[in-house]
Amino acid sequence: MKIGRAEVEHVARLARLALDEEELDALTAQMDAILGYVDQLGNLNTEGIVPTAHAVPMENAFRPDEVLVGLGEEKALQNAPAAEGPCFRVPKVIE
């Protein structure tokens, strides 16, 4: 077994996903199979190989530090599930 049910539950919490029992069972089996498959990468010797984050080599992309026009309050809030004044409204965080 590459991964067990308890570990899948832990990962679901990290990923902020409230999964039900059925989903957790299915994912345990599927992730186990997929992780078993990707294990073949271990057959390759990658000592001294530099990891690739981006395929096209690039330096930092700089631009002048200038203020640009943003979306504005109205547009920024137009898709908000809940808003109040110029703010996004969220459930209470602090008791």
Partner 1 sequence: MSLTDLTIHELHERLVRREVSSVEATRAYLERIAAVDERINAFITVDAEGALRQAEAADRRLAAGKGGALTGIPLALKDIFVTEGVRTTCASKILQNFIPPYDGAAAARLKEAGAVLLGKLNMDEFAMGSSNENSAFGAVKNPWNLQCVPGGSSGGSAAAVAARQAAATLGTDTGGSIRQPAAHCGVVGLKPTYGRVSRYGVIAYASSLDQVGPMTRDVEDCALLLQAVAGHDPADSTSVDTPVPDYRAALGGDLKGVRVGLPREYFIEGLDSDVKEAVMGAITVCRELGAEIVEVSLPHTEYAVACYYLVATAEASSNLARYDGVRYGLRVDEGKGLLDMYMKSRAAGFGAEVKRRIMLGTYALSSGYYDAYYLKAQKVRTLIRRDFLEAFEKADVLLTPVAPTTAFGLGEKTADPLQMYLSDIFTIPVNLAGSCALSLPCGFTPSGLPVGLQLVGRPFGEETILRTAHAYEQATDWHRRVAPI
Nearest alpha-carbon partner for 22 in 34, 30, 14: 30
The residue whose two tokens read 């137009």 is 78
Residue 69 in tokens: 């026009």
- Comparing CB distances to partner 1, the nearer of 75 and 86 is 75
Residue 20 in tokens: 């039900």
Residues 28-67 that bind partner 1 (CB under 8 A): 30-31, 33-35, 37-42, 44, 46, 49-56, 58, 61, 63
Rounded to a whole number of angstroms, the minimum distance from the CB of residue 58 to partner 1 is 7
Using CA atoms, how far apart are residues 86 and 67, in angstroms rounded to an integer? Answer: 20
19 lies in the site for partner 1, by CB under 8 A: yes
Report the chain's C-alpha Rg in angstroms: 22
Task: Give burial (CB, 10 Å; 0-12/13-18/19+) of 58.
Answer: exposed
Options 4, 6, 25, 80; binder of partner 1; rule CB under 8 A: 80
79 lies in the site for partner 1, by CB under 8 A: yes
Residues in touch with partner 1 (CB under 8 A) = 3, 7-8, 11-20, 23, 27, 30-31, 33-35, 37-42, 44, 46, 49-56, 58, 61, 63, 71, 75-76, 78-82, 88, 90-93
